[in-house]
Structure 1
């Protein structure tokens, strides 16, 4: 059981980077960005191809970051310059990235078995693979949370938050909201691509289909984190995202341990997200019912 939980924690830390990227678009910019389903696979494809051809894994992960940022830039330009709705812009980019990822890898999947990855140095000092993933995952999360906490406290970061909160008021204050939307999408998909690169190196292969359903996983982690761990301030929200991703992965691991077929995981995730998102509406419906019960007593 301990090994199952450690495995869930290690995977949760890697997916937490993607969850933070989803949070930037979904919560801060108020955009449901489906680009992530393509950019997470793109990050995996770029890193896998680069490592397969002898590149340093850290450099390969950095290039994956740039690839994800480029994907976010395309979505941002489609939305802000060509006036295509944000949801449709993400869908268009996601569809295009499927072909791009196939072009990058040259085939549907690429193996990284017996090749050096970003975890190799940790394994060389005596850590097993799971502990190596946890160690690097913690370092990555600490770096991402620290940088984003600082960045969103700067003038530009506050402008991005203001754009998502009230774009009309932001424009009245002289903020170029289009540029802020593009920047937010670039940062978000860059993080998502890094997550894809780390996941691919952890599981020793990249697959063109690995992004399928990732937006739902990201949303589930965001909702679970906010519901269970709160959102008192921005730093607390960032930490809650990490805990949400780990909690989600732990739930999935335990559900599988209890015998749920793996084919039902997507449906389970969708139901979890639907229930979490419907909590405010449920409270609205239940409040009059509770009141009438009390009056009847």
Structure 2
């Protein structure tokens, strides 16, 4: 299943609540994990104000969106109770909203998404791709932008032995199917963004195949997110063991994706990515 022909034009904007985010150039989504155990930055922000200050710095560095997460979904991780996740993210979301920041909540739990949207979050970033009917109901009941991501199974076992007949075709079919399901539930096309989910049940070869297929994925009809920042496969390719030192590999991958049609880059290293995107845009406009 593809959407080619149904939405043939490249999306010009992404509607996220009160914000209409222009897609004339790739957007930067800064990652803010308020968790004790995320693979790269877990445990960095032990208070609400530390998290808010980090978010404010990312905005100053060029972030268009701040993505707040309260549950680590790294490979092998255990599920966090929604009440615990909500206690981590809601106070941060509330503080960012009053500062007129475009806030995304990174969650797979409907109750967390609902509370954050009610508090003013503009985007629901669901790693489970809106497979939960309760999450679909939350989406139907609000105007938030939605990120539909592909994940193979659940975080606990997704990296054990991931297999696909054809990773690009399989994941394209899944993303199209989930996005179409949301539209058939009454959700506007302009609210939906898709993410192939590198690292979420994929080998390094799978991730590279998806990255090389950016142009194809970007032509499915919805804005495409690239989210490879600091991930394990970047380290495997570059030989960099420490996640927070995978800046150059991450930025290179984001630039490749942006040059081939990706609309949003979800990143840890905002300043480096924003600078690279400014250079990329100047080159493209000069040509």
Q: TM-score, normalised by structure 2?
A: 0.32
Q: TM-score, normalised by structure 1?
A: 0.32
Greater RCO structure (CA 8 Å; 6+ sep): 1
* Larger Rg over CA atoms: 1
Q: Identify, as 1 or 2, the structure richer in helix.
A: 1
